[in-house]
Amino acid sequence: MFRIRIIFKKSGWITHLNHMDLPNLFSRAAKRAGLEQEYTQGYSPRPRTSFGPPLAIGVTGENEPAEFWFANWDENSQNKWNDNLPEGIKILRSAEVEGPVLSQSCNAAVYEIQKTDKELPELALNVLEEMIEKEAILYQSSFQSGLIILTIGRVERCSAGKMVRTLQENEFCSGWSDLRIVRRIVGSWDSKTNSVLSVI
């Protein structure tokens, strides 16, 4: 059995697909590609998968992690799998892995936030920093020409939804439609390099 970890990009129209639908999407594409997945045990077996922290609907994910277990895997499997995935989902790289489960390796993420029609003021960054420090861990933050970049630890405690609500409550936006949010990477925080490292 091969335990395969992938990094994929989720963009365009498919950002509106619910995170809970991703296992089925990937598994159906894998089946069409001729990849045989391992199934869970119990009364309702399903393909064995593991994904990183949920990505909110409408948010672009540039480096999202997931794991799958296959009976067969070779150097051509990633390309075959990609050929059967819908537009907006692309596997960027893959590797066979061992060791800790994916959830233990995903403790930090980098988000970019900006308005679609005009620049956010720097005060918006201050408001987000205050909220994040109460809810999770703020490793780094920066502001440049209306673009907010946040490196967050304990990602599950500080979702994109909380950030949008905070900006809305402080009248920096009217809601999701005013903002463009990108999650640049999910991985592990490395204090030596002060950066988030990819899980493969």
Residue 45: pLDDT band by 50, 70, 90 thresholds? Answer: confident
Alpha carbons 23 and 65: distance in angstroms, whole number: 12
The per-residue pLDDT for 101 is 86
Count structural domains, the chain. 2
pLDDT tens by residue, 12-29: 999 999 999 999 999 999
- Model confidence at 93: pLDDT above 80: yes
Residue 64: predicted pLDDT: 98
Contact 188, 106 (CB under 8 A): yes
Residue 56: pLDDT above 80? yes
Q: Which of 56-65, 96-105, 153-162 has the lowest mean pLDDT?
A: 96-105
Closest to 90 in 3D by CA, of 99, 101, 78:
78
Q: Of 84, 104, 124, which marks where a domain is finished?
A: 104
Per-residue pLDDT for 60 more than 90?
yes
Q: Are residues 36 and 96 in the same domain?
A: yes
Domain CATH for 33: 3.30.70.580
78 is written with which tokens? 């990633």
Q: What's 145's domain CATH number? A: 3.30.70.240
Give residue 43's pLDDT.
82
Say whether both 46 and 119 belong to one domain.
Answer: no
Q: What 8-state DSSP symbol labels residue 47?
A: B
pLDDT at residue 42 greater than cutoff 80: no
Structure tokens at 8: 């994929």
